[in-house]
Structure formats: C-alpha cells, structure tokens
Amino acid sequence: MSAAPGRWWRHHPMSARLGAALMLLLLVAALVGRLWTPYDPNTPGVGDPFLAPGARHWFGTDQAGADVFSMTLAATATDVWLTVVAVALAFAIGGVLGAVAGYWGGWTDWLIMRVTEVLQSFPALLLAMLLVAALGNGLVNVIVVVAFVGLPGYLRLIRAEVKARRGWEFADAAILAGNSGAGVLARHLVPNSLTPLVSYAAVNAAWVAIVVSSLGFIGVGIEPGSPEWGSMIAGGRDFPDEYWISLFPGLGILLLSTAFYLVGDGIVDRDER
C-alpha cells in the first residue's frame, strides 16, 4: 500500500485498476444514494406497479409501485458498508488473535487453533445463517456474525506469518534493545506480516458481499424493510415476468464482488511479478 494514489495506479496491473475504479464508482453511488434518490425508496406507489424500465423509472417499478432505481441506489450504502465493516472487523480481531497465537505459542495457541478448526468445519454461509437466526435479524448482528465467520482465515494467515518471523534477527535485535515481547510483536512483527493479509482481505471481501446479500435473500439479514440488495432480489422472486425487480440489485452485488476480486487478484499478480 503506497501513499500516493498515482503511485498505486502505476504499480498495479490492469485488473487492479479496473477493480479500484469500480470500487470508487460504488462508493460514489453509496454516497449519492444516502443524499439523493429520484424518488423516496421507501414509498410505494410513486409509479404504477410493474412498470418496465423507462424514462420516468430507469429501473422500472416493483409490485407496490416503488421505484427500483431509487431502492437500488439507497441499498448501495447498506451493502458496501456491511461488507467493508465486517471485513475490517474480521481483519482486526483475527489479526490480534493470530499474532498472539503465533508469537507466544503454547496453550493459548493450542486453544485458539482448536476453536478455529471447529469454526472452519462449518460451511461458512450455513454457520452465518444459523447464528443470525439465533441472534435475530439486524444490522449489528449481521456485521458481527459475518466478521466472526470470516475471522479464522485472517487468524491463521497472520499466525503463520508471525510464527515464521519470530525467530528472525530483526526480532531478536529488537528484544535485545530492551523492547518487550508485546512491543516487538506490535511494532515489528505484525507490520511485516500484513502484506499477504491485504490481498486475502480483498478476495474475502468479494465473498463477504455475496454472503451478506445471501443472508438478506434467505430472510436472516438486516431489519426487514431496510433497503438491501439481497432482500430486494427476494422481493422480486415471485415475479419472474418482471425481471427488473431482481436484475438491478443483483448487478449491484456482482459489481461490488467483482471490484474486490479484481483488486485482490491485482495485488497477487503484482507480488508475483
């Protein structure tokens, strides 16, 4: 991660640039969706029901006559925000636990790794589904659950990195210079272990975007009635003739997920060159 965006641009392959551009577009759409939509996304009857996409309603209207474009735009913030926060949370908590397990080893490491193994034995979406069903729908619950389910991946990665570097000379030197173990871990070992985590996080975010919308689709997402792409698609499920109700929110998920995949692939490609 270099400081200047220009440098980042020059040093990454085409796929990463395309991904970054897509991500910027989605961020702008999320921001716009918060401030302005052509119609109120939560109000039915702004047009006739089941209008096909046209000049007045770009993405058409749903069974209640709500404007699909306004709903899709308003939902952008929800899905982008959920994905980014869940990934950041998993990154942070998984990073700390993994670093601790990798550096100190012993029974802490043993316990953390056994719990990780158990969590990774569940197909991730099914575990998330069970947990949200148990905790109840809601924005915070979905974020916590998705982060929790994604956490083991980060934990294992950083644990392996820290474990490998623990015995390196720069770590020994820092200890001999009078630093505490925790200080060396935080200031030297963790920063040196982050690179593989960044590309993993990007690819993981692509997957998280799909999990978040899947939870919405099967009815264990955020509060019912809030705009979210997955639950919008579920709303259009019973109307296969009016494809546009599901098409556009699905394209939103596709774009978000693609953006993260491209950035993740780009970072991997850069590192392999």
Partner 1 sequence: MVGTVTARPTAEPAAARLAAVALLAGRKLGGALLVIWGVVTFTFLVVRVVAPDPIGLLVPPGAGTEVRDAVRTELGLDGSIVSQYGIYLGHLARGDLGTSFGTNQPVSDDLLDRFPATLELAVPALIIGVALGTGLGIVAALRRGRLADHAIRVVTVAALAMPPFWLGLMLLSLFFVSLGILPGPIGRLPAGVDPPPTMTGSYVLDALLAGDTQTAGLAAAQLVLPVAVLACGIFAPITRVARSGMVEALRSDYVRTATAYGFPHRRVLTAHALRNALLPVITMIANGVAFAFTGAVLVEGVFGWPGIGQYALVAVQQSDFPALQGFVLYAAVVYVVLYALVDLAYAAADPRTRS
Which of 53-61, 79-87, 177-185, 253-261 is the region at the interface with partner 1 (rule: CB under 8 A)?
Answer: 253-261
Q: Smallest distance, Å, CB 230 to partner 1?
A: 7
Return the closest-CA partner of residue 200 out of 162, 126, 150, 164: 150
| DSSP designation for 46 | S
| Paired residues of 67 in beta bridges | 61
Q: Which is nearer to partner 1, 7 or 237 (CB)?
A: 237
CA dihedral 220, 71, 22, 247 (to 10 degrees): 80
Candidates 151, 206, 208, 263: give the one binding partner 1 (CB under 8 A): 206
Candidates 1, 48, 121, 273: give the one binding partner 1 (CB under 8 A): 121
Which of 62-70, 84-92, 162-170, 238-246 is the region at the interface with partner 1 (rule: CB under 8 A)?
Answer: 238-246
Please tell me the distance from the alpha carbon of residue 53 to that of residue 57, in angstroms, as a whole number: 6
Candidates 51, 80, 82, 131: give the one binding partner 1 (CB under 8 A): 131
Which of 62-70, 75-83, 105-113, 124-132 is the region at the interface with partner 1 (rule: CB under 8 A)?
Answer: 124-132
Instruction: Give yes or no for residue 218 binding partner 1 (CB under 8 A).
Output: yes
Tokens of 207: 């997957």
Inter-residue contact 46 to 40 (CB < 8 Å): yes
Inter-residue contact 230 to 219 (CB < 8 Å): no
Subset of residues 160 to 199 that bind partner 1, contact rule: CB under 8 A? none
Subset of residues 57 to 96 that bind partner 1, contact rule: CB under 8 A? none
Candidates 44, 49, 53, 219: give the one binding partner 1 (CB under 8 A): 219
Residue that is written with structure tokens 């939870």 in the block: 215
